[in-house]
Structure 1
Amino acid sequence: MPRTPKVLVIGLDGALLSRIEDAGAPHLAALMAAGLTAPSRIEPHAPTLSGPGWATVLTGVWPDKHHVRDNTFSGGRFAEYPDFLSRVSTAAPGLNTCAVTSWAPLAETVFSAKVGTRVATPRAEYDAGTTSRVVAELRGGAPDALFVQLDGIDQAGHEHGAASRQYLEAIRGADAHVGQLVAAVGARPADEDWLVMVTADHGHTDTGGHGGPSPQESRTFLIAVGGGLPPGSVRDDVRMPDVAACALAHLGIALDPAWGLDGRPLHTPSATRRTTGYGSATAD
């Protein structure tokens, strides 16, 4: 019998793939070995800030459409370009959707009321609280599509820089949280077909910070396991908006051309992509 498709998207704020590899993060390394690793970068001139970065990941369109330019989310066109969980809830109201974020503005601003569960973790609990809430949902609930954002790597990047020991330690801490999430998915019923995706909203400079156009600030990535992706595969044609498109496609939701998505499912040839340009990025 066909298995029921499910999706978990894990966002590691400010994480650099190269430093994940340097950190010796075992759970993320296991995901890379089991599926796809796709280094990527933010489109030229798109802001390398969390607001526009996560808006791009979650809506499946670049900032020239969703109009988020900074971390205030002002001007965001989420009615025209909703987050992928809201699209799931609209297209398939019977599916259970959940978003839990350590960075409060994300849960409070991007996701619509159509999403079944929207939680901004109290600052005192931070990533541990975010992880425990999602693990509880996976263990005791009946989720179909989840998004979780962990913030500790970005904090370490701002305070100490991407070249620091503290940044590597933050990656190892996030890796432990990823391990808990993946273990909870693995304990789910065998008739569920999970696509697990791990991604980031931007990179960081060696000295700390982001928001500029440098290659290190513009780096992002996708690690994906499930959906028939070959183990140990590597691609260079995957972009940030693909995350939302992949999630929707895996859940069996047809991508309506009228939605204007810039993302494509991973099995779609990259030749169908468009090239875009934006105004100048501004730092936070």
Structure 2
Amino acid sequence: MMKSASKFEKFAARSWNLLNEGKPFTPIFTVGTMVFFHLGDFAAGISDFLLAALIVLPLFVLYFVFDFPLFLRNYLWIPFVVFIIVWPELNINLLLFAAGLYFFFTVFFWGTFYYHLRIGTSWLNFSRFWKLVLKNSDSTSGNAQEQLPKIFLLLSVWELSYTAIARETTVPLFHIALFYGFVLVYTFILHRYLFDWKPKAYDRYTKDDGPEVPENGLSDKVIVIVIDGMRKERFYEANTPFLDQIKENGTEYLNMETVYPARTVVCFSSMFTGTYPFEHGIKSNMVYKLGVHTETIFDSLRKVGKRGRLLGIAHLVDAMGSDVETVTAVMHKDKADTNMLARARKIIDEQDPDLFVVQMIGTDQVGHSRGVLYDDYIEKIEEADALIKEFVQWLEAEGKMENTTLIVCADHGQADGIGGHGHLDEGERFVPFFMHGPHIREGQKVQEKHSLVSLAPTLAYLMGAPYPANSRGKVLIDAIKARKEETQVE
């Protein structure tokens, strides 16, 4: 039986996100590289080193504030080229040392050692992982095309300042300040005029514009199965007879859009609060302040005496707190979803929640460790199909599907490279989403674009609970039969 995530694992997951998420990784890696490279120089004191660090601090702040998502990362080399033109005497050994450390960390430590210990990938995974790192497009430390130009520029400015201070020559503070001004203006222009693909947020609350929630709701229970990281067109390519049957006999949303940034904890927070990161407060997998800042669907259900549970891996507790049943993420990739659904049966047996959400993680794990454009990824989607079939058949045998709505979706897709997701590259933005049950229209294909923030208010509508206070999503009313009586007549 699958173990719950321990306190140590929750702490370790949060700590790992410091190295996994791109924003904290950049300063941590840069500082670590400088310290290791100059370790032998500290015998005479480190005051010069720290003073030089203060000089480069504004550039650290700028790179932490701005994302440089997707193709904007290509423009990161321009400031570095300008720096080389103005200060051509680079410390090549430092940059080569940094590049070596970076690829050792991403390809061998992360892509091979870490994934072998956590999910059982081969010790030879580095033979593929290096290619994934070079083409990765997401917001993690594994995005070489974003991280390397940032790291090279930070190290070069720091080294320039440190060398001048150590040699007691004049630090070109005025010219460095002018250079910072150029980088700031350049960065602002790029993000102001080229960063235009972030999804448009709904500007009104569901409670003001949404339909009146039916008294007592429509469904006695709702089961939500989230296949983490399932890329939409790869799902269509896979052989998934059971999921195909569910979506063909229910309602499928053909243009269901995830949120930005498309990181797992962000997406789950948006799906179950009905609103966006600027409001619920979860803006990456690195959660600095635990807990969403708004009501969740679980809070709404409590108001009408109903109960919801979310079964997922450790870091979801950072957003949803005690409404999450955490499970260990340290398990072989071929056992993860089998164990997850075994734990799901146990929760339903023992707790019988009105809303039950389960996160299947095998597809996402393989996408990150092996890439999404290989057969390994398709095989995980097909495995998920077979496991979901067994799970639903068990629910039916237990009498749990008589007046139950089943929703199957992904929280985000995955792009090329190491299963990248975050900045809404191709393969990330639109996700599979379909509903099935006695109150769901059959054979319906909805072309209109919708957002995953619509999940929470739709759950509230189906279950007779008030909309979460800050929910902005639109109820997916075109999937729902007009009246409860309509299904009874049929």
Asked if structure 2 preserves the Cα contact closer than 8 Å seen for 1:4 and 1:191, the reply is: no
Asked if structure 1 preserves the Cα contact closer than 8 Å seen for 2:228 and 2:412, the reply is: yes
- Note the 1:70-85 alignment, pairs <5 A: 70-75=284-289, 78=292, 80-85=293-298
- Note the 1:1-284 alignment, pairs <5 A: 5-39=220-254, 40-43=256-259, 46-75=260-289, 78=292, 80-89=293-302, 91-93=303-305, 95-101=306-312, 103-106=313-316, 108-113=317-322, 115=323, 118-121=325-328, 123-124=330-331, 126-139=336-349, 141-189=351-399, 192-207=402-417, 208-226=419-437, 228-235=439-446, 236-255=448-467, 259-267=469-477
- Alpha-carbon deviation of 1:76? 6.0
The structure with higher relative contact order (CA 8 Å, sep 6+) is 1
C-alpha change, 1:168 and 1:88, in structure 2 (3 Å) is same
Q: Which moved more, 1:182-191 or 1:125-134?
A: 182-191
- Match of 1:241, SS state, is helix
Amino acid at match of 1:11: V
C-alpha change, 1:183 and 1:138, in structure 2 (3 Å) is farther
- Alpha-carbon deviation of 1:200? 1.4
- Match of 1:37, SS state, is strand
C-alpha change, 1:221 and 1:65, in structure 2 (3 Å) is farther
- Alpha-carbon deviation of 1:260? 2.2
Tell me the C-alpha RMSD between the 2 structures.
2.5
Report the Cα distance in structure 1 between the residues aligned to 2:401 and 2:286, rounded to whole angstroms: 41
Q: Which has the larger radius of gyration?
A: 2
Relative to total residues, which structure has the larger strand share, 1 or 2?
1
Asked if structure 2 preserves the Cα contact closer than 8 Å seen for 1:7 and 1:146, the reply is: yes
1:58-78, Cα deviation, whole Å (9 max, x unpaired): 211111211211102234662
Report the Cα distance in structure 2 between the residues aligned to 1:151 and 1:246, rounded to whole angstroms: 24
Amino acid at match of 2:310: A
Q: What's the TM-score, normalizing by structure 1?
A: 0.81
Report the Cα distance in structure 1 between the residues aligned to 2:425 and 2:241, rounded to whole angstroms: 29
Report the Cα distance in structure 2 between the residues aligned to 1:268 and 1:262, rounded to whole angstroms: 17
- Alpha-carbon deviation of 1:4? 5.7
Q: What's the TM-score, normalizing by structure 2?
A: 0.49
Report the Cα distance in structure 2 between the residues aligned to 1:229 and 1:157, rounded to whole angstroms: 32
- Match of 2:344, SS state, is helix
Report the Cα distance in structure 1 between the residues aligned to 2:234 and 2:257, rounded to whole angstroms: 15
Asked if structure 1 preserves the Cα contact closer than 8 Å seen for 2:219 and 2:462, the reply is: no
- Unaligned runs of 5+ residues in structure 1 are 270-284
Report the Cα distance in structure 2 between the residues aligned to 1:268 and 1:232, rounded to whole angstroms: 12
Report the Cα distance in structure 2 between the residues aligned to 1:245 and 1:155, rounded to whole angstroms: 29
Report the Cα distance in structure 2 between the residues aligned to 1:253 and 1:54, rounded to whole angstroms: 19
- Match of 1:146, SS state, is strand
Amino acid at match of 2:326: V
- Alpha-carbon deviation of 1:129? 1.7
Asked if structure 1 preserves the Cα contact closer than 8 Å seen for 2:226 and 2:409, the reply is: yes
Amino acid at match of 2:415: T
Asked if structure 1 preserves the Cα contact closer than 8 Å seen for 2:220 and 2:463, the reply is: yes
C-alpha change, 1:76 and 1:137, in structure 2 (3 Å) is closer
- Alpha-carbon deviation of 1:151? 0.9
1:130-189, Cα deviation, whole Å (9 max, x unpaired): 100112333565331101001111111112222210110110121122112221332243
- Alpha-carbon deviation of 1:254? 2.8
Relative to total residues, which structure has the larger helix share, 1 or 2?
2
- Alpha-carbon deviation of 1:86? 3.1
